[in-house]
Amino acid sequence: MEHSDQIKPFGKMIASENLKLERKKTTVLQVNVGYLCNQKCRHCHLEAGPARKEVMSLETMNKVIDYARQCNFMVIDVTGGAPEMVPYIDYLIDSLTPLAQRFMFRSNLSALGQKSREDLIYLLKEHQAVIIASMPSINEAQTDGQRGSGIFSKSISTLKKLNELGYGCEAAGLELNLVSNPSGAFLPQPQEQTEKRFRKVLKEKWGIVFNHLFSFANVPLGRFKKWLIESNNYSSYMNKLASSFNPCSIEGLMCRNTISVSWDGFLYDCDFNLAADLPMTGKKINVSSMRGLPKEGIPISVSDYCYTCTAGTGFT
């Protein structure tokens, strides 16, 4: 596993703290339906974009649905790329929503706002899907710099549309959560502070409301890692992450209760390990050959980018 020579490898760090990163009961199924996206964000750990061809086939969708039927997950979380652009995504949503107590759909907002995908918003509403929308910043120039020209205004229009349908409004019971991340090689501001700022500015400028905001550090993988290396920031960023290691974050890490399926049906402990092609248990297992939930107590596959999840209050 790759590691920056200036920091202690992540696996050694947790061992030196007498900690173990092992699986607890798996309650979340995350389905990554592919790397095709209408945006090409600078921080994307999957290097998703309009030229990517990897999308989940109908055959793999059916294998995922069969697996979800066996396991009784509490949460099913669909992510991409831009899931909106994947053929048969409506079928996947229709099939997976009855199989979990909570169904989450991750969107970059601009793809969901496209005229051709208006029907998808109604489908998500019909299924009471929770929408997790990436919205790195409330600054237009910063957002467009990170995600592409015109993306900020498209995101604002989609948020308005979602609010019109009841998303983000307490009374309607339709949950709309935002995810923000820093624009460069630094850690995010405290989440509560960022949430307060977003709530105030979005409401005052555009009348937009939302339920919660999650603030995450960028993971040094994919396009973000390339940018860190090119801009000579890689070592200092890794040092920043490693020196913010918080042993208490290990308990709540998402990889301990999540199983992540890739667009081609292979199993990982999380979406970051998926991006790095570091499979669950170290060997590639297809969802079609998995019987039931992964065993509790099996070790999680780790690498140095795991420091992103354990920096400060952690990435849970």
Of 80, 77, 147, 151, residue with least CA distance to 114: 151
Would you count residue 257 as binding ligand SF4 (CB under 6 A)?
A: no
CB-based contact 53:34 (threshold 8 Å): no
Would you count residue 151 as binding ligand SF4 (CB under 6 A)?
A: no
CB of 268 to ligand SF4, least distance (A): 8
Q: Which two tokens stand for residue 25?
A: 């009961």
Q: Which two tokens stand for residue 26?
A: 């798996």
The one segment of 31-39, 96-104, 251-259, 279-287 that binds ligand SF4 by CB under 6 A = 251-259
Residues 6+ apart with CB under 8 A from 298: 22, 23, 281
Would you count residue 82 as binding ligand SF4 (CB under 6 A)?
A: no
- Residue 316 CB: number of other CB atoms within 10 A? 14
Would you count residue 270 as binding ligand SF4 (CB under 6 A)?
A: yes
Given the complex with ligand SF4, which of 38 and 273 has the nearer CB atom? 273
Given the complex with ligand SF4, which of 93 and 276 has the nearer CB atom? 276
Report the residue from 39, 269, 280, 304 that binds ligand SF4 according to the rule CB under 6 A: 269
Would you count residue 309 as binding ligand SF4 (CB under 6 A)?
A: yes
CB of 12 to ligand SF4, least distance (A): 14
User: What is the distance between the alpha carbons of residues 238 and 262, in angstroms, rounded to a whole number?
Assistant: 26
User: What is the distance between the alpha carbons of residues 120 and 210, in angstroms, rounded to a whole number?
Assistant: 19
Of 203, 189, 218, 192, residue with least CA distance to 307: 218
CB-based contact 307:250 (threshold 8 Å): no
Strands (E), the chain: 28-32, 75-79, 102-107, 130-134, 176-180, 212-215, 258-261, 267-268
Would you count residue 280 as binding ligand SF4 (CB under 6 A)?
A: no
Report the residue from 254, 280, 287, 311 that binds ligand SF4 according to the rule CB under 6 A: 254
Report the residue from 152, 210, 234, 305 that binds ligand SF4 according to the rule CB under 6 A: 305
DSSP strand pairing (28-32 vs 75-79): parallel
The one segment of 36-44, 195-203, 240-248, 301-309 that binds ligand SF4 by CB under 6 A = 301-309
Given the complex with ligand SF4, which of 73 and 152 has the nearer CB atom? 73
Would you count residue 138 as binding ligand SF4 (CB under 6 A)?
A: no
Residues 6+ apart with CB under 8 A from 295: 23
Given the complex with ligand SF4, which of 238 and 300 has the nearer CB atom? 300
Window 107 to 126, contacts with ligand SF4 (CB under 6 A): none
Report the residue from 82, 135, 300, 311 that binds ligand SF4 according to the rule CB under 6 A: 300
Please report, as ranges, the residues that interact with ligand SF4 according to CB under 6 A: 253-255, 269-270, 272-273, 300, 302, 305-306, 309, 315
